[in-house]
């Protein structure tokens, strides 16, 4: 069963009525939202009668897709992280309710308020009507990321997140090796990159909550301002520079190659705002390492996305095309790690 199957809307309305302390709930509009290749996102408008939330509300229901990735958190874990982030003042949609009863719509899901704006990366990087305030938007992203990085491992609400050992970098290398070993085809370019990452791994740094997918496409933007950080399914403990390198990696510029902060703006306003809000100094050499790491990670995720299609678990043209991006990530990583590659100092 999924949302839209017989009985699912009735079950969902009953759940919302109970959670909202309402007399009655009508689901007046539903649409499957674009994006969310690993999870499903549904926009629902609800009319609530009675109780403290009486009125019409635009909500988002997020549930598992038919198949997924081992690296992804469960929806219950993701909900808990968003609760913590929201309480810490991070610009995220307000989380409302979690349902772990799979009898309602066939899957675990949670519901949050819908924030205004556009996340589609191809529009964000090209359309000044969406992101015309480029330096200001980059600064808002830097400040938001700094706010996320204020959350540290002594937060008892996030004890389900394991600490990386012996370091975030080397734990990632080990994880990537396991993922490659699960695939039938050899990938020597990725093996080369793994060795480079292993040999050049930075010394361990401060551990903070990393969004782990903080990039254009997961940032909701309206009139040049950040309205919400989305898709927390990969959140983990890591060092601050991993999130910085992920946003700045070439693979997340969506064709706006010269705008190195996610295809939105130059790095400078993003770095300045992050440093001002966090009190940390951004190390360009460390960021470069994590950009190489980002291409490795996205390439391997792309391989596994393609495998979801090829295995028959979730036939999808989108997943098939994502799998083909792995070769592009290999090429970029080899360029960055070649003897002639330039590492910032």
Domain range annotation of the chain? 8-113, 121-337
Mean pLDDT, residues 207-233 taken together: 97
250-262: average pLDDT: 96
Residue 345 pLDDT exceeds 90: no
- Which 8-state DSSP code applies to residue 250? G
Distance CA 210, CA 148 (A): 7
CB-hemisphere CA count at 13 Å for 312? 0
Alpha-carbon span 72 to 315, nearest angstrom: 19
Cα atoms in the Cβ-side hemisphere of radius 13 Å centred on 111: 19
Taking CA atoms, 344 is separated from 23, 111, 138, 291, in Å, by 61, 43, 21, 12
pLDDT band at 3 (very low <50, low <70, confident <90, very high): confident
Determine contact, residues 170/187, Cβ cutoff 8 Å. no
Instruction: Select 121-337's CATH number: 3.40.1280.10, 3.40.50.300, 3.90.1200.10, 3.20.20.10.
Output: 3.90.1200.10
Name the pTM for this structure: 0.92
> pLDDT-derived band of residue 321, with 50, 70 and 90 as boundaries?
confident
Give the pLDDT score at 145.
98
Residue 192 in contact with residue 101, Cβ under 8 Å?
Answer: no
pLDDT level of residue 39 (50, 70, 90 thresholds):
confident
Q: Are 302 and 325 in contact (CB under 8 A)?
A: yes
CB 237 within 8 A of CB 163: yes
Residue 34: its pLDDT value, please?
Answer: 77
Q: Are 261 and 243 in contact (CB under 8 A)?
A: no
- What would the mean pLDDT of 270-297 be, rounded to a whole number? 97
CA angle 235–179–207, rounded 5-degree value: 30
What pLDDT is attached to residue 37? 58
For the cut 60, the answer to whether the pLDDT of residue 36 exceeds it is no
Q: Which of 141, 163, 175 is nearest to 207 (CA)?
A: 163
Pairwise CA distance, residues 317 & 309, whole Å: 8
Sign of the CA dihedral running 106, 109, 115, 119: negative
- Tokens describing residue 29: 């509009």
Mean pLDDT of 264-271: 98
H or E element at residue 297: helix 284-310
Confidence of residue 343 (pLDDT cuts 50, 70, 90): low
Tell me the CA distances in angstroms from 4 to 10, 13, 105, 229, one per residue in order. 10, 12, 9, 27
Q: What is the pLDDT of residues 189-211, one digit of tens each?
A: 999 999 999 999 999 899 999 99
Q: Does residue 20 surpass a pLDDT of 60?
A: yes
The pLDDT-based confidence of 74 (bands split at 50, 70, 90) is very high
- The answer to whether 306 and 320 have CB atoms below 8 angstroms apart is yes
pLDDT tens across 90-129, in order?
999 999 999 999 999 999 999 999 999 999 999 999 998 8
Q: Tell me which residue has tokens 């996320």.
A: 148
Integer distance in angstroms from the first to the last C-alpha of the chain? 54
Out of 89-93, 171-175, 187-191, which region has the weakest mean confidence (pLDDT)?
187-191
Q: Looking at the domain that runs over 8-113, which CATH code has it been given?
A: 3.30.200.20
- The first and second tokens of residue 215, run together, are 């990039």
Rounded-to-integer distance, Cα 280 and Cα 65, Å: 38
Asked whether the domain spanning 121-337 has the same topology as the one spanning 8-113, the reply is no
Handedness of CA 64, 65, 66, 72 (dihedral sign): negative
Q: What is the pLDDT of residue 304?
A: 79
Question: Quick count: other Cβ atoms within 10 Å of Cβ 206?
Answer: 11
Helix (H, G, I), strand (E, B) or coil at 72: coil
> By C-alpha distance, which of 215, 308, 230 is closest to 41?
230
Q: Give me 34's structure tokens.
A: 């674009």
What average pLDDT does the chain have? Answer: 91
Predicted confidence at residue 169, as pLDDT, reads 98
Mean pLDDT confidence for 211-238:
96
Residue 4 has pLDDT above 90, yes or no: no
The tokens for 5 are 């199957």
């Amino acid at each position: 069963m999924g949302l839209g199957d017989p009985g699912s809307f009735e079950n969902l309305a009953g759940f919302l009525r109970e959670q909202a302390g309402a007399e009655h709930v009508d689901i007046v509009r539903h649409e499957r939202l674009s994006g969310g290749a690993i999870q499903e996102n549904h926009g629902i408008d609800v009319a609530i009668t009675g109780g403290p939330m009486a009125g019409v509300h635009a909500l988002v229901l997020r549930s598992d897709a038919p198949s997924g990735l081992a690296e992804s958190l469960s929806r219950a874990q993701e909900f808990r992280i968003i609760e913590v982030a929201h309480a810490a003042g991070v610009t995220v949609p307000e989380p409302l309710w979690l349902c772990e009863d799979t009898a309602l719509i066939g899957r675990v899901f949670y519901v949050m308020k819908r924030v205004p704006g556009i996340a589609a990366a191809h529009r964000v990087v090209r359309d000044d009507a969406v992101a015309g305030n480029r330096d200001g938007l980059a600064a808002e992203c830097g400040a938001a990321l700094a706010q996320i990085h204020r959350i540290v491992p002594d937060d008892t609400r996030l004890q389900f997140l394991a600490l990386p050992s012996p370091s975030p970098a080397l734990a990632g290398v080990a994880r990537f090796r396991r993922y490659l070993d699960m695939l039938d085809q050899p990938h020597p370019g990725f093996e080369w990159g793994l060795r480079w990452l292993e040999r050049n791994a930075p010394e361990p740094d401060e551990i903070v909550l990393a969004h782990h997918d903080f990039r254009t496409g997961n940032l909701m933007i309206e009139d040049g301002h950040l309205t919400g950080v989305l898709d927390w399914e990969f959140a983990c403990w890591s060092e601050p520079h991993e999130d910085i390198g992920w946003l700045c990696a070439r693979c997340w510029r969506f064709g706006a190659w010269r705008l190195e902060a996610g295809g939105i703006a130059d790095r400078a306003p993003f770095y300045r705002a992050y440093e001002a809000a966090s009190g940390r100094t951004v190390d360009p050499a460390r960021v470069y390492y994590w950009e190489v790491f980002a291409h490795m990670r996205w390439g391997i995720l792309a391989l596994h996305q393609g495998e979801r299609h090829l295995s028959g678990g979730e036939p999808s043209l989108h997943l098939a095309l994502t799998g083909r991006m792995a070769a592009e990530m290999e090429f970029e990583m080899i360029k960055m790690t070649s003897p002639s590659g330039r590492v910032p100092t």
